[in-house]
Homo-oligomer: A and B are copies of this chain.
Amino acid sequence: MPIYKAPVEDTLFILNDVLGIERYRNLPGFADATADMLAAIVGEAARLSEEVLFPVNLSGDQEGCRRREDGSVTVPKGFKAAYDLYREGGWLGLAAPEEFGGQGLPYTLHTAVGEYMSSANMALMMYPGLTQGAIAAILAHGSDEQKRAYLPNLVAGTWTGTMNLTEPHCGTDLGLLRTKAVPNGDGSYRISGQKIFISAGEHDMSENIIHLVLARIEGAPEGVKGISLFIVPKFTLTEIGEPGDRNGVSCGAIEHKMGIHGNATCVMNYDEATGYLIGVENRGLNAMFVMMNEARLGVGMQGLSIAEIAYQNAVNYARERLQGRSLSGAKQPDKKADPIIVHPDIRRTLMTIRAFTEAGRAFTLWTALQSDIAHRSDSEAGRQAAEDLLGLMTPILKGVLTDKGFDHAVMAQQVFGGHGYIEEHGMSQYVRDARIAMIYEGANGIQALDLVGRKLAMNGGRAVMALFKEIGDFCEENRGDDRLSGYTKSLKKGLSDLQAATMWFMQNAMAKPDNAGAGSTDYMHLFGLVVLGYMWAKIAKTAEEKLAAGAPDNADYLRNKLITARFFMERIMPETALRKARIETGADSMMALDAAAF
């Protein structure tokens, strides 16, 4: 049977000690987030995740969602009850504005607890996850009336939201989309068309579903400049704002997917459904990007979440499974065999995942903190710097944490041997669930292109230069410290590979754009290695300082951080040289083959 225990100690260590969240007390919502309050909320989220969400995860995968002939959809057994407890706990509105019923607490905290919940039940958490996206878009682009009409129920979770972008012939290239919007004359529109891959598109857990739909207003320009965003409620609202008539939107089918079976991924048919323009006509893509950006952080976090639960189960199995003997002599001579955790190759697997999840957690929370600063700081310079960093980190966090999250779920599955291939142990589910995170919210190849093609050069490279300086300064400041020089030396080497690769793009990609595309995925991962390495260096510095300050209660925990940091620097960080070498070979051999020759 799978297990899960939320890594509360680690979360609090990162928030309090590594990121020093109390230094941000001046930000709105942060004053309430005292160390005690953080511990209480994180602890409560851990309990909910372990005891409510997790127990229906495996069964939800096995049962899946069912669509009836009338188009209604039933979620797996236990999902609604679990969602109700989540909703009643106010978790959806944790970081939402108090004005609409939220608690206004830091987005960083919302992210911290979100990790646990997605570990415990990724498919279930996608229902409120999509709702978060809808809330963000309405907050940013909705009229006051729309905010009043939709936000309180979305924030409370009594209604849920969706994002409707993809059509059968267009995913990445939204300029091709065909769904039509015809004005009714009263300010509303009739929306017609078909959307596919709509997560949480139809289900029986909420009183209403608020679809955010990209469509083209009759006569609008072709391409991306003619796309508008609409609110299309499953039930249009009555005069007093309650769900009223059934709107012309329905679930035509549930997709048969590799994983996330507990989430209803729907084909949605819009047949003259009543929709309401949100934001400016023909500027729908901009409005949608608000949802997308936040969603990308959430998806990156899913990579971390699944790697974490897969790791925990692999550790558990490796401690219990007796098979073979240690190469350095029997460790449990009284038993017929040693637990497989004595074998270096199993250690390699577990250490590799651990070195990723612990730094990945710091990376995620550090990035979420930039979002809080960007949205809440009263210093314009502070907001700008945070926004720069957030924009730069978003594709890296999404692309790297989901690629690695999947890889690490696969590695954890391998620890189980044949038992990992059997559905009952849950490892297959983690692998199958993690796979989608590499694809949705912009496939990882698109993230890499966003990084190389947009984020790098934005504002003359301001964001990337600031980060290189920050990491360089960190190495410089600490290189005289014997306890830290091992870490900073590796980090500095990684940074220098990253800087060289960046320079290579500047010199070679302007004249020949294919050179940028050819190196984009390697660059994204190179960047991810350096950022994760930076997280490890910060974690190591914090641990060394706390150990030096006396014998803390958690001395073992801190010493284990140093071991894992060293493992990361020795085993993982050298990959930067390979990534750089690949980038510098350019596009020639990649593009030489005729398309027909493949």
Contacts and interface: CB of A to CB of B under 8 A. Distances in A.
A351 interface: yes
A445 B346 CA distance: 8
Contacts of A445: 343, 345-346, 349, 414
Contact of A351 (B443, B513, B589): B589
Interface stretch (A74-82, A230-238, A320-328, A468-476): A320-328
Interface of A: 166, 169-173, 175-176, 196-197, 255-259, 315, 318-319, 322-324, 327-328, 336-337, 339, 341-351, 354, 406, 410, 413-414, 417-418, 420-424, 428, 431-432, 435-436, 438-440, 443-445, 448-449, 512-514, 516-518, 520-521, 556, 560, 563-564, 566-567, 570-571, 574-575, 577-578, 581-582, 585, 587, 589-593, 595, 597-598
A257 B422 contact: yes
Copies in the complex: 2
A107 B320 CA distance: 42
Contacts of A590: 344, 347-348, 351, 567, 571
Nearest to A518: B344
Contacts of A421: 257-259, 435-436, 439
B513 A327 contact: yes
- Residue with the greatest number of chain B CB neighbours at <10 A, chosen from A346, A424, A571: A571
A406 B422 CA distance: 17
A337 B172 CA distance: 11
B414 A444 contact: yes
A79 to B, nearest CB: 21
A315 B597 CA distance: 10
Contact of A328 (B169, B319, B344, B513): B513
Contacts of A449: 345
16 contacts: A171-B418, A176-B323, A256-B422, A258-B431, A258-B432, A327-B514, A328-B514, A341-B595, A345-B518, A346-B445, A349-B445, A406-B410, A414-B443, A417-B443, A421-B435, A570-B585
A256 B421 CA distance: 8
A444 B428 CA distance: 17
A592 B344 CA distance: 11
B578 A575 contact: yes
A587 B171 contact: no
Nearest to A329: B513
A502 B308 CA distance: 34
A327 B516 contact: yes
A422 B351 contact: no
Nearest to A222: B336
Contacts of A574: 578, 581-582
Contact of A418 (B166, B339, B581): B166
Contacts of A439: 414, 417-418, 420-421
Nearest to A424: B256
A179 to B, nearest CB: 15
A173 B341 CA distance: 14
A337 B176 contact: yes
A517 B341 CA distance: 12
Nearest to A586: B570
A563 B594 CA distance: 11
A169 B197 CA distance: 42
Contacts of A593: 347, 351, 560, 563-564
A597 B351 contact: no
Contacts of A585: 570-571
- Residue with the greatest number of chain B CB neighbours at <10 A, chosen from A323, A344, A348, A516: A344
Given A176-B336, A560-B597, A589-B566, A448 B418 contact: no
Nearest to A171: B417
Contact of A517 (B344, B431, B592): B344
